[in-house]
Amino acid sequence: MDQQLSHVRADGSAHMVDVTTKGTTSRTSRAQAIVRTRSDVIEMIMEADLPKGDALPVARVAGIMAAKKTWETIPLCHPIPLGKITVDFASDVAEGTLRVTTLVKTVGVTGVEMEALSAASTAALTVYDMIKAVDAQAVISELKVLEKTGGKSGDWSAETSGESA
């Protein structure tokens, strides 16, 4: 691939992209992560009956905090003023899954995909931390962006692009 990467200079060194000339627009991103465990563990999560306590409020706050600190943990991300961050959970006891979905919004010059992904992954990691005493073999999977809006490249959705959510 001959395409010049935006985070790489001509000499091959990494740098933060200059966004000072970009226009300010409303931008959003939704992301997900899936925690796979046993059905009984999903029931414990949903009933707030884990030995370590109620996982979902802790995971929600951890996800929100992670989104706010993305620029501190991903080296070439810009600090972005975030206007909204949500972290939600949907369980499927029969499948033994907990789906973490996040939504991040800003009005700015760069997108918030990394913030949404950081929130989803950290919330899922927090759930794992709280269930590992009852299922150390739980798995986190399917971390991905579900959709983004705003910016020069426009809107995109995994559902309309043919990917499964």
Residues involved in catalysis? 129
Q: What is the dihedral of CA 41, 45, 46, 47, to 10 degrees?
A: 90
